[in-house]
Amino acid sequence: MPNLEVLNIDELQPTHDTLLVLRVVDYSLKSSRNQKIDFPEVWRINNEYYISDGHHRLFLRYLDKETQIPVFLYKEGKENLGFGAYESVVAYLLKGGVKKARQKQITHISQLQIV
């Protein structure tokens, strides 16, 4: 189970290389209307923090110059998910999303491109 923790936005590694403009606008409108927005989900793997869900929400917080961000944090260990699921998440994040983002030299939420 994840814990709600506060992390520095500069520690969070993107696992995507783009943002969808309509989602950015949608989350921006929800925020301006004070509607509930879920916390982003982050996984700690090998002492690095990888965004698994919430790139659009984190990008808006970056634009608002927020540095300390509450996130749902999954820590290393198979106890977080059922048998085999932890390995699947790690493989997806590290071999899929992170690899693709780093190939495009994206290592910070500010470097994501809006499409």
Q: What is the pTM of this model?
A: 0.86
Q: What is the CATH number of the domain that holds 76?
A: 3.90.1530.10
Domain that holds residue 94: 3-114
Of 42, 40, 45, the residue nearest 87 (C-alpha): 45
- Can you tell me the distance from the alpha carbon of 38 to that of 32, in angstroms, rounded to the nearest whole number? 15
Number of structural domains in the chain: 1
More confident residue, 57 or 93: 57
Token pair for residue 18?
A: 């783009």
pLDDT over 90 percentage in the chain: 63
Whether 80 has a pLDDT exceeding 80, the answer reads no
- Asked if 37 contacts 54 with a C-beta cutoff of 8 angstroms, the reply is no
Whether 83 has a pLDDT exceeding 60, the answer reads no
- For residue range 17-72, list pLDDT tens digits in order: 999 999 999 998 988 888 888 999 999 988 999 999 999 999 999 999 999 999 99
